[in-house]
Amino acid sequence: MSKAPDMTPVFPGSTDAAGRPATLGVLGGGQLGRMLVHAAQRLGYRTAVLEPDPQSPAGLVSHHHIQTSYDDPTGLAQLADLCQAITTEFENVPAAVLHTLAQARPVAPAAAAVAIAQDRIEEKAHFAACAAVSGVTCAPYAVLETEAQLQAVQNERPDLLPGILKTARLGYDGKGQIRVKTAEELAAAWAELGSVACVLEKMLPLTAECSVLVARGWDGQVVSFAPQRNMHVAGILAVTHAYEGALPPALAEQARAAAVAIAGHIGYVGVLCVEFFVVADGSEHGGLVVNEMAPRPHNSGHYTIDACDASQFDLQVRTMAGLPLLPPRQHSPAIMLNLLGDVWLDTQDQQQEPDWTAVLALPGTHLHLYGKQQARAGRKMGHLTITGPTVDGVRTVARQAAALLGLPGQDDI
């Protein structure tokens, strides 16, 4: 993909036609936006966040906080006036809004790419279309939008059971997903989900989950981080392992190449995370299976802030602003522990403060809290990254930190 005709690099310290400092815009005010704003500000940019929540993590730290809904015409006009380039920090911003903004300013990722990630049906069709180039396809699945399709799946696709029924839109962190074993359970699950558009995916014998972060520029240049191995609890990322040997080298290279192909197929610009399942050898679907993609920085890439010379957020800034891309280098083995609101709740669900003194006394710990005022079970409140000179040392400290915080999945660290 060639550079967009109206895309000229937005350099740190530059000014616009009105003499105002270079400003980068973000749709969405969550923790990803907050870390993106920090990365932009370190380079010297001003930032503007459009987000309705007055206490949003990103809005609280940005130079400008436009407190409107994502589709408010006045707010969007203000964002376009302030900024020289715009991105989104989560995929559920209406794609039409990105299309509208792109008429006035460079927007990365593009509306079309975000629209694919917003709809599992479109996403799986995209993965299937990429399979010949990427060498990786998704799990066997069927689209379920009508009663007739439900009947067809029940009668003609018994191979998809047991499976996972997932809403086509607005599902995340395990929400909008129900496991089903029989045709009867499938019908009941679809009704429970409101009979909305869904996909039914065949459950495969998984041995691991991994993800790849790639950054693709306006000129088609691509750089990437090494694939990381992830562990989930109740559908939410709990632990990320990022070090040499976390995945077999051949598998890691296959995942990286597939992610690059998936990004290139749609001329993607920005940081893209592609998640994969590793399926047990010997299965008819053995090897690597693509699960989903996120058109933004990703929870599994947070370790890059402390373990690499350029983080995923640094690369997002570079891509949206049209700056040169250099391959990021990881200087330390790392393990990232996701911190959910459960850490702040005792057995009676009363608020308590974690023992940060003990946690931060451990060598190589890097605490990142997102500035959220209220802890709730399952709510992402922060993360803890552990770095060190050796993988064994990092794993030892990560286990100690997980025990101090009462985190699940300690046996998998």
Domain positions in the chain: 23-107, 140-202, 206-408
Please tell me whether 45 is known to bind a ligand.
no
Q: Which CATH architecture has domain 206-408?
A: 2-Layer Sandwich (3.30)
How confident is the prediction along the chain (413 residues), in pLDDT tens digits per residue? 334 445 799 999 999 888 999 999 999 999 999 999 999 999 999 999 999 999 999 999 999 999 999 999 999 999 999 999 999 999 889 999 999 999 999 999 999 999 999 999 999 999 999 998 888 999 999 999 999 999 999 998 999 999 999 999 976 666 789 999 999 999 999 999 999 999 999 999 999 999 999 999 999 999 999 999 999 998 899 999 999 999 999 999 999 999 999 999 999 999 999 999 999 865 554 589 999 999 999 999 999 999 999 999 999 999 999 999 999 999 999 999 999 999 999 888 888 999 999 999 999 999 999 999 899 999 999 999 999 999 999 999 999 999 999 998 788 89
Asked whether residue 120 is marked as a ligand-binding residue, the answer is yes
Of the candidates 211, 208, 209, 204, the one whose C-alpha atom is nearest the C-alpha of residue 162 is 204
Task: Say what the pLDDT of residue 286 is.
Answer: 55
Do the domains 23-107 and 140-202 sit in the same CATH topology, yes or no?
no
- Tell whether residue 185 is among the known ligand binding residues: no
Q: Tell me: is residue 202 an annotated ligand-binding position.
A: yes
Ligand-binding annotation for 81, yes or no, is: no
pLDDT at residue 235, as a whole number:
85
Residue 175 annotated in ligand binding? yes
Give the predicted TM-score (pTM) of the model: 0.94
- Helical (H) or strand (E) element with 94: none
Token digits of residue 11: 């350099």
CATH of 140-202, one of 3.30.1490.20, 3.30.230.70, 3.30.360.10, 3.40.50.150: 3.30.1490.20
Structure-block tokens of residue 2: 């060639």
CATH 3.10.20.70 fits 23-107, yes or no: no
CA distance 49 to 19: 20
Q: Is 177 flagged in the annotation as binding?
A: yes
pLDDT at 4: 46
> CA-to-CA distance for 344 and 298, rounded, in angstroms?
23
Residue-by-residue DSSP string for 105-172: S-BSS-HHHHHHHH-HHHHHHHHHHHHHHHS--BPPEEEE-SHHHHHHHHHH-GGG-SEEEEESSS--
Please indicate if the annotation marks 122 as binding a ligand: no
What does the pLDDT read at residue 174? Answer: 65
Q: Is 203 annotated as a binding residue?
A: yes
Q: Is 265 annotated as a binding residue?
A: no
| pLDDT of amino acid 3 | 41
The pLDDT, as a whole number, for residue 281 is: 65
- Alpha-carbon distance of 223 to 270, in angstroms, equals 11
Tell me the one-letter amino acid at 220: G
204 is in an annotated binding site: yes
> Whose CA is closest to 312, among 20, 320, 131, 180?
320
299 annotated to bind ligand: no
70 is in an annotated binding site: no
Q: Which amino acid is at 294?
A: A
Whether residue 176 is annotated as binding a ligand: the answer is: yes
SS3 73: helix
